[in-house]
Amino acid sequence: MCLAIPVKVVELREGDQAMVDVGGVRKEISLALVDGIAVDDYVILHVGFAIQKLDAEEAEKTLALFAELDESMGTSLGNPVA
């Protein structure tokens, strides 16, 4: 099963690359499939590629739901971007 998650862009890099953050974990991803992304934007991350820009409010709601699910299961879902 594949999972696409919202991540926050914290740094733009050369060659359509960006550094993103989710829950304090940072990962370099590709922005080759989306246009007009800036620092502090949220994007949907799937297998190392940003596939869509996401409204910040919607991203934060989704991340809160993931955290709630993790807490209610009494387990750690682990690192979703590793």
What SS3 state is found at 30? Answer: strand
Is 78 buried (19+), middle (13-18) or exposed (0-12) by CB count in 10 A?
A: exposed
Question: Which band of pLDDT confidence, cut at 50, 70 and 90, is reported for residue 3?
Answer: confident
Containing 71, the helix (H) or strand (E) segment is helix 56-73
Cα–Cα distance measured from residue 63 to residue 42, given in angstroms and rounded to the nearest whole number: 11
- Kindly report the pTM of this predicted structure: 0.82
Domains of the chain in start order, with CATH, are 5-73 (2.30.30.140)
pLDDT in tens, 39-75: 999 999 999 999 999 999 999 998 898 888 888 887 6
Lowest pLDDT segment from 31-35, 67-71, 78-82:
78-82
Looking at residue 67, its pLDDT comes to 86
The secondary structure of residue 47, as a DSSP letter, is T
